[in-house]
Amino acid sequence: MSRTRRSIGLTVALAATLALAACGGDDGGATGDGTGNDCTAGKTLAEGTLTVATGNPAYEPWVVGDAPESGEGFEAAVAYAVAGALGFSDANVAWVRTGFDEAIQPGAKNFDFNLQQYSITDERKQTVSFSAPYYTSNQAVVGFADSPAVGAESVADLRGLKFGAQSGTTSLAFITDVIRPEAEPFVYDDNAAAKAALEAKQIDAIVVDLPTAFYIAAVEIEGGTVIGQFPASEGAEADQFGLLLDLDNPLVTCVDDALASLRDDGTLAAIEREWLADKTNAPVISLD
Amino acid sequence: MAPAPEARAAERRAHERRVRRRSAVVAAASTVAVLAAVVLGVPRLPRWDRVRRSFFDGERFADSLPRLLEAFWLDVRIFAWCTPVIFGLGLVVAILRNSRAPALFPARALTVAYVDVMRGVPVILWIYLVGFGVPGLGLERPWNSPLLWGSVALCLTYGAYVAEVFRAGIESIHEGQRAAARSLGLSASQTMRFVVLPQAVRRVMPPLMNDLVSLQKDVALVSLIGPIEILRQAGIDKSKFANFTPYVAAAAVFLCITIPLTRVADWLVARERRRTAGTVVR
């Protein structure tokens, strides 16, 4: 008797929740129960769940405290916003970790999309698929306050300096293609090594994307400063971050639609304002 | 009546021929089967096309190779200037460790500590410690070059390995050789220089070549502190194209060096065996 009543009560509560969720979901969700919309149906790794990958570890300001589940940090917030626009509730977002190489290996992927500041390039598109960009980054110069790069007004002032960059980043290509210094740049696996090289005066400055620059200058490289940023360039040199998906994954169109709606309604800009430092806080170094 | 011995021998030979022929057929058949399975079977696997594009993309290979060869020149240079230093250092340490003068006890103790510590700690740590640590003490350019101090780290670690090889060689020379040399009036140092070392060094040439082959690969670790050598360049290209083919190209370059080096080592071993065997027969 009492057992039956409780079951009925539960069912009613559940139905109410579902109804509420259905009403609240104005994103064209098929069911509105937080397990995806019409577009994503049958396209995710696990039905009803969006599996998102990030770096191992994930760095600030992209993910705060290496805990993407919190939704704190620019990319964590973008991931949940995209998930929401795709009709997934926060509870139906699962996180996995991959290194860069794991994401581009030819085997089956263990994520629906992967975000860890992957720059969209035509070369990479032959192996993996990218969404539309969710962020356009400027390159920036980081060094100590006594670096000879301080006060540089154009790339011409930087040509005589020795630069460092992180392996596999577009910053390295930016050094060799745009700054074109006289000395070959040095390349490091991580910021710890780059910092040691700065301290040993083996390099004068490192080049990283601007949000990372603000973070490492404030936190990782004691006494470091963002010496300058380069204006966002157009075309081939633009450094746009995209969500990485398995090659020809049909989910790409859904994700692109989601990103477009987030861009149009100002959500992306709001997330950027919340988690990334104001771009205007660093002096601009002209590309002439 | 048993068959005549000749008939038995002929029968045995015929049997052995049959067994040999059957072995040859089985070996050939299994080789063909394995090859066929690999050549015909692997491409039929569902994602072979993706794997092929990721690892064996001819266009990427050709595109990366010139850059890789240019970067490999740095490996060659590091290897070239480290090798003589390593051999010199290893020899000095080995001789000191084998010295018998009581006054040299501190030197002996030092060499034991040096070899133990250097060999017991991963090369990577020495590269970081010497490559970043020493220049960090306040050296100015060009004396703080990671190339210089990375090479020093390699020399120090490999010096310890090579010292142990030399020591084994020196200790393998029979005590009678020293006794004979000393009885001829040679001093201790002359005995070492003219009698022990020439034999010892020749004897340990093969293991020394092994150390060279492994040094050739560890040179790549210098890239951890900045310089772009072949494996780093391959990594850069891999990230740029999201394709692992540059590593395959780098491996091909490495093989072009290590395989001949290994053959030279084999040849040295064979020559040493012929030489020592010769003395016995004569």
Q: What is the pLDDT of residues B29-42, one digit of tens each?
A: 999 999 998 888 88
Across all residues in chain B, what is the average pLDDT? 90
Contact flag B132-A201 (C-beta cutoff 8 Å): no
Q: What is the pLDDT of residues B250-281, one digit of tens each?
A: 999 988 988 888 888 788 878 877 877 655 44
Mean pLDDT of chain A: 84
Write the pLDDT tens digit of every residue in B66-104. Answer: 999 999 999 999 999 999 999 999 999 999 998 888 889
Of the candidates B129, B139, B134, B144, the one whose C-alpha atom is nearest the C-alpha of residue B224 is B129
In 3D space, the residue among A122, A157, A192, A199 whose CA is nearest the CA of residue A286 turns out to be A157
Cα torsion A143, A149, A151, A157 to 10°: value is -150
With CA atoms as reference, report the closest residue to B222 among B92, B99, B81: B81
Distance CA A235, CA A285 (A): 19
Half-sphere exposure of B68 (CA within 13 A, CB side): 22
**In Å, how far are A143, A224, B133, B135 from A199, measured between CA atoms?**
10, 10, 9, 9
Residue B43: C-alpha distances to residues A247, B30, B37, B92, B122 (Å): 19, 20, 10, 55, 40
Q: Dihedrals φ, ψ of A164, to 5°?
A: -125, 155
The nearest CA of chain B is from the CA of A123 a distance in Å of 5
Burial A237-256 (b: 16+ CB within 10 A, else e): eebbbbbbbbbebebbebbe
Tens-digit pLDDT profile for residues A195-205:
899 989 999 99
- Residues of B with CB below 8 A from A108's CB? 47
Cis peptide before A283 (omega within 30 of 0): no
Phi, psi values for residue B129, rounded to 5°? -65, -50
On whether the pTM is more than 0.90, the answer is: no
Beta strands in A126-212 (DSSP E): 128-137, 139-144, 163-166, 186-188, 205-209
Candidates B43, B123, B77; CA nearest to B230 is B77
Query: Does the beta carbon of A21 lie under 8 angstroms from any beta carbon of chain B?
Result: no
A248 touches chain B (CB under 8 A): no
For residues A158 and B62, what is the distance between their CA atoms, to the nearest angstrom? 33
Q: Is A234:A117 a contact under the CB 8 Å cutoff?
A: no
pLDDT at B2: 62
Give how far B244 is from chain A: nearest CA, Å.
Answer: 8
Q: Which of A124, A193, A199 sits opposite B224 (nearest CB)?
A: A193
**Greater confidence, A237 or A72?**
A72
Alpha-helix residue ranges (DSSP H) falling in B37-57: 48-55
pLDDT digits (tens, 9 = 90+) for A69-128: 999 999 999 999 999 999 999 999 999 999 888 888 888 899 999 999 999 988 888 889
Residues of B with CB under 8 A from a CB of A: 47, 50-51, 53-55, 128, 132, 135-136, 139-141, 144-146, 223-228, 232, 235-236, 238-244
pLDDT of residue B268: 80
